[in-house]
Amino acid sequence: MTRLAGCGLVDRAQPLSFRFDGNAYTGLAGDTLASALLANGVRLAGRSFKYHRPRGILSAGPEEPNALVELRRGARREPNIPATTVELFSGLEADSQNRWPSLRFDVMAVTGLLGPLFPAGFYYKTFMWPARFWERLYEPAIRRAAGLGRAAEAEDPDRYDRAHLYCDVLVIGSGAAGLAAALAAGRRGARVVLCESDWRLGGRLLADGGEIDGLPAADWAVAAEAELRAMPEVRMMPRTTVFGVYDHGTYGAVQRVSDHEPEPDANEPRQRYWRITAERGVLAAGAIERLVAFSGNDRPGVMLSGAVRQYLNRYAVTPGRRAIVVTAGDDGWRTVTALASHGIEVAAVVDRRAEMPERHAAAAASAGARVFAGGRIGGTLGGSSLFAADIVEASGERTRVAADLLAVAGGWNPTVQLTCHLGGKPVWSAAAEAFVPGALPPGMAVVGAARGSFGLGSALAEGARAGAEAAEATGFSGSAPAIPFALDAEGAPAPIWIDSGARKAFVDLQHDVTLEDIAIAHREGFRAVELLKRYTTHGMATDQGKTGGVLGMAAMAALTGMDMAETGTTVFRPPYTPVAIGALAGPNRGKDYRPRRRTPAQGWAEEQGAVMTEVGLWHRALWFPRPGEADWQATITREIGAIRTGAGVAEVSTLGKIELVGPDAGALLDFLYINTFSTLPVGRTRFGIMLREDGFAMDDGTTARLEQDRWILTTSTGHAGAVMEHMEYVHQMLRPELKVAFTSVSDRWAQFSVAGPNSRQVIAGVLDPGADLADAAFPHMACGVFTALGGVPARVFRISFSGERAYEIAVPAGFGEELVRRMMQTGAAFGLVPYGLESLGTMRVEKGHLGGGEINGQTTARDLGFARLMSSRKDYIGRALAQRPALIDPRRPALVGLRPVDRMATLRGGAHLLPEDAPVRIEHDQGHVTSVAYSPTLGHWIGLGLLEGGPSRHGEVVRAANPLEGFDDLVEIVPPCFLDPQGARLRG
């Protein structure tokens, strides 16, 4: 065990047992998986992506490139989770990745074959030819060799949630700057949300010690948290990562509600995706330490210097027993002091600088460390764990120093990512030796290390001022904020350090990109950072180059001779850290993927054993099978037979229903439809087609005039929303002077189609006495308002889709189920059967009525056979462009009926229509089949299609071919209406 006594923020009274690669270990409450592994002396955490090199734990946070694990087992297994971010819980199981057969002995690495296979640009040059080898050979081989962890193979058993949050001030990060900002804004009464990725607030205060207002920094953080929690308008959100910044103060965040437990509580989601809308944002996301590029900088035992301090001070774990500290500036010396104060031997300090502040000599002396001023690391030794490093002195002399820990202080990169999501570009700061935020998203302030102010005192002051300013801007004024007092650490920020002569010096540990790869990219001309990134995959791994990205840029800058400002960074896009797709999907999965709309009588249909289908958001009955029916065709044949000889009832409540009221309703309808409505008498219904302004058909349907100034318009189910929106556009934008109001009443009315020779008796059976449905009083296309079921308003329309005498009856939605039950009772004597969409669709093809296949956005009213409806006496939407020469060309594909020459043949939708003797090639294409059905009435298949010059070709025979599905039939062109073209049946 390497647990230190008498320090840390772990609970020694709460041991937690866990497994890594099947071995049992014990950690403490307050550990991460990484700190618990280190406490158990586990240093080898995984193998790298391309070369399968052994890798240890580099960092102590979400920037971790190496120690990625598969967390949990079975359906909850999740790959590529940084062990440094996993809050330890009892029973945790994790496995290392990219190793076979075991982490310690990996065949891929031992054979050493992979190195030459994967130089920079290997995707582009190694596997280019022949193309078919890619699928068969290269891709499977690469996927086996490389790749990260394995996703679970079973469905995710957990639930995810989505929620919205509104606040005045969003503070991102709870280090010194973030806490100071939240306190300043909260004390003024602003609604503050404080998001922190970690479960514990404090950020670097938990790792670096120091004093704030005379308190130890970690204690100050506890006091600040307590004060914030007591404020009613402040919401604390630990375990919550703000991963994206969007327009107008919108932020995306993911809260890990239950990831610190073995599995979520029955009433809790695993994660919750928050959309936070904040008037002001304060980004206090701190900084991430960067690596130094030297030979062998990926050896397990190499660790970021700031992470070493975090393991020592926060987790009471020592990552090694004998350390070398490599530092590009003063910050590494804090690690020297920290190691020494915990009694860890510091064998050597390698400082990039030949001259350094004198105070470091004293620190080295008290730690007993030998100082190599102006030195560098020439290489590291060790297999699965570091045991020594070669130090090259300024003179060139090499000294081998035994050590199991190499603490690397390569300077700090401000966490600028969230400032870039709206297009801001980081700018190079010579003072900070790093890229700092450039143009900020509107309403965002950046404070502390995130803007390159690395000192503790500066962070507190900037945070407090920004918090107060944000509160002020949202209407909460007050006196100047109290600024917590602390000293800035001495020293200047460290520069980027690249040992240009190094071999196997990694700049991207997760994707195994080395300085050599950067040099190849340079040599081959991929020099701009965005090209460099894509050619080498530098910075494209799950860690997005958080520790090494800027090293690659600096290496390229050194090769091109440009400075860092000119070289720039690649674009940072959301998410800041990976977000589970499940969290983004939230509850919208499986049957809850979309909302479901239930029709008023759906319960009745289900009770009748209807087979249901999804139509948009609706679930509608397809058909109503009866025992003994062999298949759906038998059911349809029975249903249609019953309708054509007796009566059938189908629910059509899903049709769009728009009620218009006002003296100008008719004028609006005249403008919307190609035909005229204002002349329609009260008590009558008319069919209409509306166009888009470009002259193509938009929708068809019937409109009834119930009263002088009250109309009800119906749309097809699929176009209900679009037609309503279109009508609002036309009224508000084009004809605002019309005195008309309209609203969607689709959900207000349950509507049923009752068709068949006996339909009148069925309708009469549910209407209250006194309704006169005699043909003289209520002919085809009549409409009327009656009462049914003893006083319930009932609108009756005598319209027919089936070609039979038919009525539609609408009652308020709540009475729909009662109405259909009553109809089934009283209609039994008249042979009434329920029917569904399939029979409805078959009968409409028999009659040649239009459906979605015909009104497909590419057809005109003329194409569909309605040229005669197009009024020449008024203006209407689409009129002008419908007259374009190309749209009135008689050779355009137009609606025809189709029947197979061989009456036994099956017609299939989607087939292309070609001249009988033409080869099946696209240049002979003359149209396609839009709808097909087996007509039980006619005893063979029938279809509708769009055929060039179709209406003049009745009687001709053409090919209906689909080479993709391998069928090719001869069909005869006929008029689109197959049944009773004179309409004798529907008039009764």
Shortest Å, Cβ 920 to other proteins: 35
121-129 CB contacts, 8 Å cutoff, 24+ apart: 121/520, 121/521, 121/524, 121/526, 121/535, 121/536, 123/537, 124/535
Residue number, 473 or 562, with CB nearest to other proteins: 473
Strands (E), 819-859: 832-834
The mark string for 96-135 relative to other proteins (x by CB under 8 A, - otherwise) is: ----------------------------------------
Instruction: State both tokens at 433.
Output: 């030796």
Residue number, 225 or 699, with CB nearest to other proteins: 699
Instruction: State both tokens at 581.
Output: 């797709």
Q: Binder to other proteins among 233, 488, 693, 925 (CB under 8 A)?
A: 693
Q: Binder to other proteins among 733, 776, 964, 984 (CB under 8 A)?
A: 733
Interface with other proteins by CB under 8 A: which range of 48-56, 82-90, 723-731, 975-983?
Answer: 723-731
The mark string for 817-856 relative to other proteins (x by CB under 8 A, - otherwise) is: ----------------------------------------
Residue number, 1 or 886, with CB nearest to other proteins: 886
Residue number, 250 or 429, with CB nearest to other proteins: 250
Between residue 207 and residue 246, which ones bind other proteins under the rule CB under 8 A?
246
Per CB under 8 A, does 596 bind other proteins?
A: no
Per CB under 8 A, does 725 bind other proteins?
A: yes
Give the Cα separation of 502 and 287 in Å (integer).
Answer: 26
Shortest Å, Cβ 964 to other proteins: 33
Give the Cα separation of 838 and 617 in Å (integer).
Answer: 18
CB atoms within 10 A of CB 614: 10
Shortest Å, Cβ 249 to other proteins: 7
Per the CB < 8 A criterion, the answer to whether 346 and 369 are in contact is yes
Give the Cα separation of 485 and 215 in Å (integer).
Answer: 10
Residue number, 74 or 857, with CB nearest to other proteins: 857
Using CA atoms of 937, 941, 946, 952 in order, give the dihedral in degrees to the nearest 10.
Answer: -70
Between residue 64 and residue 93, which ones bind other proteins under the rule CB under 8 A?
none
HEC readout, 226-273: HHHHCCCCEEEECCEEEEEEEHHHEEEEEECCCCCCCCCCCCCCCEEE
CA distances from 779 to 753, 760, 803, 832, 988 (A): 16, 11, 14, 21, 9
Beta-sheet pairing, 656-661 with 710-715: antiparallel
Q: Binder to other proteins among 157, 442, 609, 939 (CB under 8 A)?
A: 442
Residue number, 166 or 632, with CB nearest to other proteins: 166
Residue number, 11 or 728, with CB nearest to other proteins: 728
Per the CB < 8 A criterion, the answer to whether 928 and 912 are in contact is yes
Between residue 261 and residue 290, which ones bind other proteins under the rule CB under 8 A?
275, 277
Q: Binder to other proteins among 584, 745, 881, 970 (CB under 8 A)?
A: 881
Residue number, 679 or 883, with CB nearest to other proteins: 883
**Short-list 105, 163, 146, 638, CA closest to 383:** 105
Instruction: State both tokens at 796.
Output: 């009756």
Shortest Å, Cβ 686 to other proteins: 22
Shortest Å, Cβ 247 to other proteins: 4
Residue number, 275 or 924, with CB nearest to other proteins: 275
Shortest Å, Cβ 248 to other proteins: 4
Helix or strand holding residue 472 (H, E)? helix 456-473
State the number of binding residues for other proteins (CB under 8 A): 23
Q: Binder to other proteins among 829, 880, 901, 920 (CB under 8 A)?
A: 880
Give the Cα separation of 213 and 456 in Å (integer).
Answer: 12
Interface with other proteins by CB under 8 A: which range of 82-90, 428-436, 874-882, 959-967?
Answer: 874-882
Task: Enumerate the β-bridge partners of residue 240.
Answer: 255
Per CB under 8 A, does 745 bind other proteins?
A: no
Q: Binder to other proteins among 249, 448, 549, 648 (CB under 8 A)?
A: 249
The amino acid that residue 73 corresponds to is R
Give the Cα separation of 129 and 113 in Å (integer).
Answer: 21
Per the CB < 8 A criterion, the answer to whether 985 and 909 are in contact is no
Residue number, 136 or 164, with CB nearest to other proteins: 164
Q: Inter-axis angle of helices 837-847 and 632-645, to 10 degrees?
A: 60
Residue number, 26 or 250, with CB nearest to other proteins: 250
Shortest Å, Cβ 231 to other proteins: 25
Decide: helix, strand or coil at residue 202.
coil
CA distances from 341 to 313, 328, 363, 364 (A): 10, 22, 11, 12
Shortest Å, Cβ 880 to other proteins: 5
Shortest Å, Cβ 760 to other proteins: 39
Shortest Å, Cβ 422 to other proteins: 8
Whats the size of the chain, residue-wise? 988
Per CB under 8 A, does 694 bind other proteins?
A: yes
Residue number, 116 or 885, with CB nearest to other proteins: 885
Residue number, 442 or 779, with CB nearest to other proteins: 442
Per CB under 8 A, does 423 bind other proteins?
A: yes
Residue number, 125 or 248, with CB nearest to other proteins: 248
Residue number, 169 or 766, with CB nearest to other proteins: 169
The amino acid that residue 674 corresponds to is I
Residue number, 29 or 881, with CB nearest to other proteins: 881
**Short-list 725, 719, 969, 961, CA closest to 852:** 719
Residue number, 15 or 442, with CB nearest to other proteins: 442
Give the Cα separation of 18 and 78 in Å (integer).
Answer: 16
Per CB under 8 A, does 879 bind other proteins?
A: yes
Longest dimension (CA), the chain: 115
**Short-list 188, 713, 221, CA closest to 468:** 188
Give the Cα separation of 779 and 799 in Å (integer).
Answer: 10
Q: Binder to other proteins among 729, 739, 889, 902 (CB under 8 A)?
A: 729
Per CB under 8 A, does 728 bind other proteins?
A: yes
Shortest Å, Cβ 244 to other proteins: 14
Between residue 314 and residue 333, which ones bind other proteins under the rule CB under 8 A?
none
Interface with other proteins by CB under 8 A: which range of 409-417, 444-452, 722-730, 771-779?
Answer: 722-730
Per CB under 8 A, does 732 bind other proteins?
A: yes
Instruction: State both tokens at 664.
Output: 């100008």
Per CB under 8 A, does 734 bind other proteins?
A: yes
Query: Phi and psi dihedrals of 353, rounded to 5?
Result: -90, 140
Per CB under 8 A, does 872 bind other proteins?
A: no
Per the CB < 8 A criterion, the answer to whether 160 and 269 are in contact is yes
Residue number, 51 or 876, with CB nearest to other proteins: 876
Shortest Å, Cβ 439 to other proteins: 10
Per CB under 8 A, does 737 bind other proteins?
A: no
For 863-924, give the DSSP string: TTT-GGGS-SSS--TTHHHHTSGGGS-TTSEEEEEEEESSTTSPP-TTPEEEETTS-S-GGG
Decide: helix, strand or coil at residue 343.
coil
Q: Binder to other proteins among 114, 222, 422, 869 (CB under 8 A)?
A: 422
Torsion sign (Cα): 383, 385, 387, 388? positive
CB atoms within 10 A of CB 817: 20
Per CB under 8 A, does 248 bind other proteins?
A: yes
Per CB under 8 A, does 884 bind other proteins?
A: yes
Residues that bind other proteins (CB under 8 A): 246-250, 275, 277, 422-423, 442, 693-694, 725, 728-729, 732-734, 875, 879-881, 884
